[in-house]
Structure 1
Amino acid sequence: MKTYFITGISTEVGKTVASAIAVEALKADYWKPIQSGELDNCDTKKVKQLISNTTSVFHKNSYALKTPMSPHASAEIDGVKIDTSKIKAPKTKNNLVIEGAGGLLVPLNNTETILDIISKHAEIIVVSRHYLGSINHTLLTLNLLEQKGFKTKLIFSGNEHKTTEDIILKMSKTEYIGRINEEPYFDKNVIKEYAELFKGKL
């Protein structure tokens, strides 16, 4: 069984939708170690609502923080300190999709970031969305992961921006999975269509 860690080049780039597609394609379990804000409509609930298969299990957050901020700041407001030794992947005999928070270097406390909780055995799926600066952010993310010895794959999210996407693919060594288009909405049927499209590339 494999572990997939889904990260983004920034926040709000489409990690949760990408996670739902991967979960559906692989009939994998899902785990969001750290949720910051939106506890009533958290990412775990969002992914669960988009899944059609009955195999996937949705595991509890290690930390569920109230304020939609960087985890270190949200934890401080809640009066807790994130202890990464308490962030342990759930035991499962299934494939596991893990969704990060923001990008790789989002701080969890004064010394550790999201990167520090990623297992060396995980395959990393990077979600990139076009905006001014996204080329730099994408290549920095991919280069850091390569330096750390991770196997990476790439998903583009949103409307096509050919010049941005072409140069990222030319300048990086990562495998390309595909694009999640700017759909009018995402529901179980749309997720299932993308799952079928991406299944052979995950």
Structure 2
Amino acid sequence: MNTPIFPTQFVVAGIGTEIGKTIVSTILVEALQADYWKPIQSGALEDSDTEAVRRLISNSGTQFHPEAYRLTEPLSPHAAADIDGVHISLDNIVLPQTSNALVVELAGGLMVPLNERELNIDLVQRWGLPVILVSRNYLGSINHTLLSIDACRSRNIPILGIIFNGPTVTSSESFILSYTNIPCLGRIGQEDTLTKDVIRHYADQFAELIRTR
């Protein structure tokens, strides 16, 4: 059997907000039958990203690890924490112990502030985990994707690859991949409705990639 391309633990990061990190995380969790952890949830506490992933996967092996911070407002973590009277400390955001693979989903992009001095990327660097970057095509997405990649490279954070979510724009994607020399791990189409069957369909594709790369 070939060695999987994915390590045991990795971070799913987006080039911005509403990029599709949770969709990608769900597919990778299902493909790998991995555990899932979103360390910071801002807003939507009754229908969190953890609950969304739980609803959409089919395997019974995934464990869901509790958030380190649950903030009431759908804002940048530093702003949501301020409203809740909470100070986010990186010391309190510790990777869960598990013998399973682990998918970690960030709250927002890499440069999103967690407190007055520290960003999501500081957390990723502290963990020492590689990143899968989720990109989505829109005006400005090339810039946002390249900036996210440069931010990781400046801190020696490995990038496993890019996953494009949503409608394909070949000229944009081709430029990003050729300019950065980072592999495309897959593409997720524009799905009107997300169901377990849709997630399973994409998970099967990613599972095959993992086996054959």
What is the alpha-carbon distance in structure 1 between the residues aligned to residue 143 and residue 99 of structure 2? 37
Provide TM-score, normalisation by structure 2.
0.92
Which of 125, 129, 133 does residue 122 from structure 1 map onto? Answer: 129
Corresponding letter in the other structure for 1:134: S
What is the aligned partner in structure 2 of residue 84 from structure 1? Answer: 90
CA contact 2:95–2:127 (8 Å) conserved in 1:
no
Question: Which position in structure 2 is the counterpart of 1:33?
Answer: 39
Residues 8 and 103, structure 1, Cα contact 8 Å, conserved in 2: yes
**Partner amino acid for 1:166?**
S
Name the counterpart of 2:113.
Answer: 107
Q: Distance in 2 between matches of 1:36 and 1:201?
A: 33
> Larger deviation: 20-29 or 122-131?
122-131
Q: Paired residue for 1:166, among 174, 183, 202?
A: 174
The alignment partner of 2:108 has SS state of coil
- In structure 1, what is the Cα distance between the partners aligned to 2:200 and 2:48? 21
| Alignment-derived partner of residue 26 in structure 2 | 20
Deviant stretches of 4+, over 4 Å: none
Alignment pair present for 1:146 and 2:153: yes
Alignment map for 1:157-196 (pairs within 5 Å):
157-196=165-204
Scaled by the length of structure 1, what TM-score is found?
0.96
Tell me whether 1:74 sits opposite 2:72 in the alignment: no
Contact 1:120–1:150, Cα closer than 8 Å, also in 2: no
Paired residues of 1:3 and 1:121 also in contact (CA < 8 A): no
Count the aligned residue pairs: 202
Q: How far 1:123 moved relative to its partner? A: 2.2
The runs of 5 or more residues in structure 2 that have no matched partner are 1-6
Gaps of at least 5 residues in structure 1 are none
Deviation at 1:80, TM superposition (A): 0.7
Range that drifts further, 31-40 or 110-119: 110-119
| RMSD (CA atoms) | 1.2
Instruction: Name the SS of the counterpart of 2:109 in structure 1.
Output: coil
Q: Which moved more, 1:137-146 or 1:16-25?
A: 137-146
